[in-house]
Amino acid sequence: MVDDDDDCERMTPSRRAVLGAAGALFAWSFVPTFAYAAAGARDPRFLLVVLRGALDGLSAVPPIGDPDYAALRDDIALTRDGTDAALPLDGFFYLHPAMPNLARLYASGQAAIVHAAATGYRERSHFDGQDVLESGQAGPGHTASGWLNRLLASLPAGEGISRKGVLGVGVVPPLVVRGDAPILGWAPPRMDRAGTDLIQRLEDLYGQRDPGLARALAQAKMTEEIAQRRGMGSEIKGGGGPDSTDGMKRIAEGAAALVGADDGPRIAALAFEGWDTHANEGGAKGRLAQLLGGLDGALAAFEQGLKPVWKDTVVMVVTEFGRTARVNGTVGTDHGTGTVAFLVGGAVKGGRMIVDWPGLKPEQLYEKRDLKPTTDIRAVAKGVVSDLFGLSGPVLAEKVFPGSGGIGPMAGLVG
């Protein structure tokens, strides 16, 4: 459970405090629950947002200070002044004008932005790219379980985080939460709920006849109970999907309510869709701007819904890969490589760009076409979860992100 000595030498003070919490976790099955609130202990929340379709990192966080940026981006380039000016970050990087909430969180030290990042995947299939991102494996073809599920399974058993399960938002749970550890499911309600008596009878029937369905139903019931205690009724039905502003907000609100509950899951994953901007991507306004506005609204909904635990929260926003550096023949961008990831939350050591900028000259691009990745998303994810949950380097490298021994956890992401 505890890191080996080598790791301890590089430990930051904040990390030391977290290991205290990890010790408390370990002892949970033996001590009364007041250990939960012990001084220095943290009851962390981690939410992973997957943007399906490959977010254009060069539009979300444009490097306007790079002399090659404007020419590559042509009609969709963002500018540092004018009516639709991008929002300033560090003078070199800017933020898309559709994301004022993220800009505010960044300015107040509650958001960090990783640029020129990618998983270990170097081809350009969405579906393999998402599988790699979510399975946490070094390459495609492993879809039996997701890394958040294995993370949960690697935490000590007992009354702790692992018992509370991992929340996968959506009728179809994202791969990142699938696996042997308990999965909770929730989606914005669309139907009248069935009566509890019918549920009870089906539980009995499945218990006798079908273990798979029995398990799914038991886990669904757990979420339902928390949702009821949180007053999440089924009063609002319908609404937009996960590619709409209203849908993203509703999903974020629901996830925040569940993760914010005392007895709720501590780890959750959700997905927003529609980021595959091959044509008419738009600049300061347009299709991508609309989506980024939806994401920005979702971040605000997390902050609002998780207010009491926001100081212990990290929201990580990732996508399968980036898009071509140069605008394509149809005023959009094709599948690329390097892109951005966002870390947002009161627990984030924010207000900074985390980047080793590769440049945008033709020879600096990956295969002369994409932003070259210089940071592995796994290093970021490992850094965050090791700080939040106290997992050791070897566990992370063997169980959570198999074969990632050469990629150390990035230090100092959580404060």
Q: Are residues 272 and 49 in contact, defined by beta-carbon separation less than 8 angstroms?
A: yes
Q: Helix, strand or coil for residue 335?
A: strand
Query: Could you say which of 80, 201, 229, 307 contacts other proteins (CB under 8 A)?
Result: 201
In the complex with other proteins, the residue whose CB is nearer, 74 or 262, is: 74
Dist. CA 235–CA 230, nearest whole Å: 14
x-or-dash string of contact with other proteins, 63-102, rule CB under 8 A = --------------------x--------------x----
In the complex with other proteins, the residue whose CB is nearer, 188 or 346, is: 188
Q: Binding to other proteins by residue 163, rule CB under 8 A?
A: no
Q: Binding to other proteins by residue 184, rule CB under 8 A?
A: yes
- Residue numbers 319-338 binding other proteins by CB under 8 A: 328-330, 332, 334-335
Q: Binding to other proteins by residue 282, rule CB under 8 A?
A: yes
Q: Binding to other proteins by residue 126, rule CB under 8 A?
A: yes
Dist. CA 105–CA 412, nearest whole Å: 18
Q: Are residues 300 and 101 in contact, defined by beta-carbon separation less than 8 angstroms?
A: yes
In the complex with other proteins, the residue whose CB is nearer, 45 or 178, is: 178
Q: Binding to other proteins by residue 244, rule CB under 8 A?
A: yes
- What 8-state DSSP symbol labels residue 109? T
Q: Which amino acid belongs to residue 309?
A: V
Q: CA nearest 355: which of 109, 117, 104, 96? A: 117
x-or-dash string of contact with other proteins, 20-49, rule CB under 8 A = ------------------------------
Q: Are residues 373 and 344 in contact, defined by beta-carbon separation less than 8 angstroms?
A: no
Q: Binding to other proteins by residue 199, rule CB under 8 A?
A: yes
In the complex with other proteins, the residue whose CB is nearer, 92 or 206, is: 206
Dist. CA 186–CA 181, nearest whole Å: 16
End-to-end CA distance of the chain: 21
Cα angle 332-334-337, degrees, rounded to a multiple of 5: 125
Q: Closest approach of Cβ 102 to other proteins, in Å?
A: 16
Q: Binding to other proteins by residue 153, rule CB under 8 A?
A: no
Q: Helix, strand or coil for residue 46?
A: strand
Q: Binding to other proteins by residue 246, rule CB under 8 A?
A: no
Q: Binding to other proteins by residue 229, rule CB under 8 A?
A: no
Q: Binding to other proteins by residue 142, rule CB under 8 A?
A: no
Angle between helix 100-107 and helix 287-305 axes, rounded to 10 deg: 50
Query: Could you say which of 137, 223, 337, 375 contacts other proteins (CB under 8 A)?
Result: 223
Query: Could you say which of 5, 13, 81, 208 contacts other proteins (CB under 8 A)?
Result: 208
Q: Which amino acid belongs to residue 210?
A: D
Q: CA nearest 36: which of 312, 231, 239? A: 312
Q: Which stretch binds other proteins (CB under 8 A): 195-203, 298-306, 308-316, 396-404?
A: 195-203
Q: Binding to other proteins by residue 168, rule CB under 8 A?
A: yes
